[in-house]
Amino acid sequence: MRKSDKLTYTIFFIISAIVLTFISLPLIRLFFFLTPQNASVLKSRSVLMSFWNSLSLSFITAVISAVFGVPLAFLMSKRSFGKFERFVETIVDVPLAVPHTVAGIALLFIFGRRGILGAIAYNSFDFKITGTRVAIVLAMLFVSLSYTVDSAREGFKSVDRSLEKAATVLGAPLHSIFGTIYLPLSRSSILSGFMLTWARAISEFGAVVILAYYPMTAPVKIYDAFTQYSLSTSGAIAAYLLLMCMSIFLTLRFAIGEKR
Amino acid sequence: MSSILLKKVNASIGNFDLSDISFSVGKGEILVIVGDNGAGKTKLLETIAGFLPVKSGKIEVFGKDITYTPTSKRGIGFIFQNLALFPHMSVRKNIMYGLKYSKIEGKKRLLEEIAQIFGVKKILDRSPETLSGGEKQKVALARTLITDPKIILFDEPTSALSIKEREKVGIEIKKILKKLEKPAIFVTHNENEAFLLGDRIAIIERGKIIQIGKGGEIFYHPVSEKIAKFFGTTNVFKGTVLKNENDSVVLNVNGKAVTALGKVVEGDEVTMFIRPEDVVLMKEPCKTSARNLFQGKVINILKKGPLIEVKVDVEFEITSFITKGSLEKFGIDMGKKMYVEFKATAVHLVKIE
């Protein structure tokens, strides 16, 4: 190897080390909060409830994203929108670029008590959406649905077109081709989209806090503890949330990676 | 009745046009469509299969108009260039795939039969990615034939194989098609494969069928220089008809009188084709029935596989294929004087319009 090449590698490795440290250091520091005396925060019903809310509602969000996002992703992968293709792509990806508090405010105008749909729910069914678990799921969906669509779309796109043609000449109707060819061959892409959406939904704070401060999700609870109690209390809750997320996602990632 | 019939089929794909495609394939016949890359071979097959829409014209399969029938209901088999085996299914599931959508009875027995015919019994539980090139071909063909298509379209499925394997697979495909009496359209850019497989050959160029006929017909009587040269080195000259007596023609080619047979009249400008294997080289002239005998100098010797191309200048440059044995026997060398002879019947004439 040339001397200058060696130097290039060395510099790039140093830069990479900085990036990796920047990401892992704060998280590692947080793990030091996982002490026996801090475990007492888990005895608080409100903390446990917030964890449960975060986990279950983000999971529901990921499921809804898959149910609604996969058909959309399929149409997009087949360029079914014609000249509106770019337009559709932009709409799908816009939530990724919108500040989450902005998303929250925007959703409030639709689902708030005086919002377009919120008013209908309130007047017809006497149901106030804001401040409920429905509102939390709506907020989570808005900011995380894009991940499922994007990932599934790329998965569908990578399926060799001749496989669909082969299935067609063998007599298969489209719904069978979708079920027997596209879905199984895009499984890992759809699953990784599902995971990304779930992870994004768990972490959502901005949009959720505007649509529903209560019932509290874990990020809201941490913020609440941070403003009302102390850094160490919020740090302890944060550490347990981190532990929980890491264990779920590392397990899933491992499981999906194995099957690939 | 023909198995498939195309009547003046026109189709547009982007800025590529298939124009006025008309031909038919007989029962149990294999038609090979030959053309260069981009000539429209795949597009033609995809139009027949219904992946691409027809603009005008008609496609009939066993007398039934299928021009606007959806692909899945055309009863056509298609073997793709990459074979398109489903990578996530076993060989068995691949072969059985089409049966789910057909009303054929005795599906289990059918699989057994097909597996027997194709000799794939031992690999039924394997995944496609573990198969050899030849095995993949068999699986693709078995998967198609099990649904009993009325006609099978092949889109250069052997192009990924080595030359040797390609020939072997080609012969097997032909054997199976003939045994099951299945008509087929086979597309390739390889002229050897065309001769090997085709009962008839069609030449496609820029979206048009420019000649169709039996292999020998196209080989010895090409309608254009382009087709003649498609089958490798050949002799193509331009000449003028000097006289025609009972279709025995004398032509002027670069000042030399060449005798040929043909229905052309005095004054016609013609293109003449002479296959190099019909051109005989001799040291001394000998009395033969051939009326075309010229003397000239060897100007090029080119070794090409088993044959040697010798080019002789006899006022026009004519190429002959000879064997290594002849080369040594006659002591043929650059600059050497040789006699060139070919029969009048070996000359194929096409009038220049």
Smallest CA–CA distance from A174 into chain B, residue = B72
Closest to B215 (Cα-Cα) out of B234, B186, B195: B195
Assess A167–B contact: CB distance below 8 Å, yes or no.
Answer: yes
| Other CB atoms within 10 Å distance of the CB of residue B77 | 25
Q: What is the pLDDT of residue B271?
A: 93
Size of interface A-B (CB pairs under 8 A): 60
For residue B67, name the pLDDT band (cuts at 50, 70, 90). very high
Smallest CA–CA distance from B151 into chain A, residue = A169
Assess A163–B contact: CB distance below 8 Å, yes or no.
Answer: yes
Residues of A within 8 A of B87 (CB-CB) are 185
Assess B74–A contact: CB distance below 8 Å, yes or no.
Answer: yes
Q: What is the pLDDT of residue B164?
A: 87
Residues of B within 8 A of A179 (CB-CB) are none
Q: For the residues B39-52, what does the mean pLDDT come to?
A: 95
Q: What is the pLDDT of residue B290?
A: 65
Q: What is the pLDDT of residue A2?
A: 87
> What are the tens digits of pLDDT across the range A139-185?
999 999 999 999 999 999 999 999 999 999 999 999 999 999 999 99
For residue B289, name the pLDDT band (cuts at 50, 70, 90). low
Tell me if residue A130 falls in helix, strand or coil: coil
Residue A260 pLDDT > 60: no
A108 vs A94: CA distance, rounded Å: 17
Q: What is the pLDDT of residue B126?
A: 96
> What are the tens digits of pLDDT across the range A4-17?
999 999 999 999 99
Residues of A within 8 A of B149 (CB-CB) are 169
∠ CA B319-B325-B326, rounded to 5°: 45
Assess B339–A contact: CB distance below 8 Å, yes or no.
Answer: no
Residue B52 pLDDT > 70: yes
Assess A168–B contact: CB distance below 8 Å, yes or no.
Answer: yes
Smallest CA–CA distance from A185 into chain B, residue = B88
The phi, psi pair for B309, rounded to 5°, reads -95, 120
Domain range summary for chain A, segments of one domain joined by +: 57-215
In this complex, which of B51, B88, B101 lies closest to A170 when CB atoms are compared? Answer: B101
B289 vs B9: CA distance, rounded Å: 47
Q: What is the pLDDT of residue B71?
A: 94
Q: Compute the CA torsion angle B72, B74, B77, B81 (nearest 10 deg).
A: -70
Residue B279 pLDDT > 90: yes
Can you spell out the DSSP letters for B116-157?
HHHT-GGGTTS-GGGS-HHHHHHHHHHHHHTT--SEEEEEST
| CATH code of the region A57-215 | 1.10.3720.10
Q: Which residues contact B341 (CB under 8 A, 6 or more apart)?
A: B279, B280, B281, B282, B285, B288, B290, B292, B293, B294
Contact A166 B86 (CB under 8 A): yes
Contact A163 B77 (CB under 8 A): no
Strands (E) located in chain B: 4-13, 16-25, 30-34, 56-61, 64-65, 76-79, 151-155, 184-188, 200-205, 208-213, 235-245, 248-253, 256-261, 269-274, 280-282, 292-304, 307-313, 317-322, 337-342, 347-351
Q: What is the pLDDT of residue A65?
A: 97
The pLDDT > 90 percentage for chain B reads 67
ipTM over 0.90: no
Q: How far does A125 lie from chain B, in Å, by closest CA?
A: 47
What's chain B's average pLDDT? Answer: 91
Q: What is the pLDDT of residue B216?
A: 86
Q: Does a cis peptide bond (omega within 30 degrees of 0) precede residue A215? A: yes
Query: What are the tokens at B19?
Result: 């124009």
Interface test with B, best of A78, A165, A169 (most B CBs within 10 A): A169
Q: How far does B223 lie from chain A, in Å, by closest CA?
A: 36
Contact A181 B86 (CB under 8 A): yes
Mean pLDDT check: name the lowest of A7-21, A184-198, A207-221, B230-244.
B230-244
Q: What is the pLDDT of residue A258?
A: 59
In this complex, which of B84, B87, B101 lies closest to A165 when CB atoms are compared? Answer: B84
Contact A166 B100 (CB under 8 A): no
A114 vs A116: CA distance, rounded Å: 7
Smallest CA–CA distance from A173 into chain B, residue = B72
Contact A169 B78 (CB under 8 A): yes
Q: What is the pLDDT of residue A141?
A: 97
CB A126 within 8 A of CB A230: no
Handedness of CA B253, B258, B261, B264 (dihedral sign): positive
Q: For the residues B69-73, what does the mean pLDDT come to?
A: 94
Contact A162 B147 (CB under 8 A): no
Question: Regarding predicted confidence, which is higher, B45 or B352?
Answer: B45
In this complex, which of B76, B84, B98 lies closest to A162 when CB atoms are compared? Answer: B84
Residues of B within 8 A of A160 (CB-CB) are 82, 84
Residues of A within 8 A of B136 (CB-CB) are none
For residue A35, name the pLDDT band (cuts at 50, 70, 90). confident
Handedness of CA B23, B28, B29, B31 (dihedral sign): positive
Tell me if residue B327 falls in helix, strand or coil: helix
For residue A230, name the pLDDT band (cuts at 50, 70, 90). confident
For residue A259, name the pLDDT band (cuts at 50, 70, 90). low
Residues of B within 8 A of A174 (CB-CB) are none
In this complex, which of A169, A170, A185 lies closest to B88 when CB atoms are compared? Answer: A185
Residues of A within 8 A of B102 (CB-CB) are 171
Q: What is the pLDDT of residue B20?
A: 95
What is the DSSP pairing of strand B337-342 with strand B280-282? antiparallel
Contact A169 B87 (CB under 8 A): no
State the pTM of this model.
0.83
A208 vs A205: CA distance, rounded Å: 5
Q: Which residues contact B159 (CB under 8 A, 6 or more apart)?
A: B81, B166, B188, B189, B190
